[in-house]
Amino acid sequence: MRTRFGVGISIVAVTLAATFFAVQLRTSLAQDAAAPAHATTLSESATRGKAVFQEKCALCHNAETADKKIGPGLKGFYERGTFTGDGSKVTDESVKKFIEAGKGMMPPFKDTLEPAKVDDVVAYVKTL
Ligand code: HEC
């Protein structure tokens, strides 16, 4: 009797655990589906750029919001289409030049980032 009762409890426990994990899995799949496409499909260049960003840029720039840190938050920067400072147009070329030259509180990266890394970080900023 004791053993059967024990087995019964285990079956209930396993069923509960299985249900719990099934719900968790469905929730996480649903979250993936709801996430913006770029979150899961960063190009190789943008993936490398993200690492550069975290190392060199994140101390001054938010990637997740447009809120100012030291510099402007870069979420939606390309969608906005213009630089905060002078309203000039956002293009891969103008962003690259800006990063290389720096401005005000933003240091120039011309001598500390290879051109290919600047391209990578631009590719990443474009996805924000
Ligand atoms: C020490 C802080 C600092 C670091 C580090 C820094 N930035 Fe900046 N960044 C700024 C500031 C301040 C501005 C605003 C400059 C201005 O317009 O006067 C800015 C502006 C920008 C802009 C233009 C945003 C806009 O809305 O006009 C971009 C793009 C940008 N930074 C990208 C980067 C990238 C990419 C890196 C890393 C390679 C980086 N920044 C590193 C401080 C920083």
Please name the residues in contact with 124: beta carbons below 8 A apart, sequence gap of 6 or more.
42, 45, 46, 47, 48, 49, 50, 52, 53
41 — pLDDT class (breaks 50, 70, 90) = confident
Whole-number Å distance between alpha carbons of 106 and 99: 8
For a mutational test of ligand 1's pocket, the pick from 50, 53, 56, 60, i.e. the residue with the most ligand atoms closer than 8 A to its C-beta, is 60
Would you tell me how many other CB atoms lie within 10 Å of the CB of residue 15? 10
36 versus 52: the higher-pLDDT residue is 52
16 — pLDDT class (breaks 50, 70, 90) = very low
29 versus 8: the higher-pLDDT residue is 8
The pLDDT tens digits of the residues spanning 82-114 come to: 999 999 999 999 999 999 999 999 999 999 999
Whole-number Å distance between alpha carbons of 79 and 5: 62
Is there an atom of ligand 1 within 6 Å of 95 CB? Answer: yes
The pLDDT tens digits of the residues spanning 48-86 come to: 999 999 999 999 999 999 999 999 999 999 999 999 999
Task: State mean pLDDT over 32-53.
Answer: 79
Asked whether 90 and 81 are in contact (CB, 8 A), the reply is: yes
Asked whether 123 and 45 are in contact (CB, 8 A), the reply is: yes
Torsion of CA 119, 125, 126, 128, to 10 degrees: 160
What's the confidence (pLDDT) of residue 53? 98
Is there an atom of ligand 1 within 6 Å of 49 CB? Answer: no
Taking CA atoms only, the protein residue closest to ligand 1 atom 8 is 106
The dihedrals phi and psi of 100, each to the nearest 5 degrees, come to -70, -35
Is there an atom of ligand 1 within 6 Å of 61 CB? Answer: yes
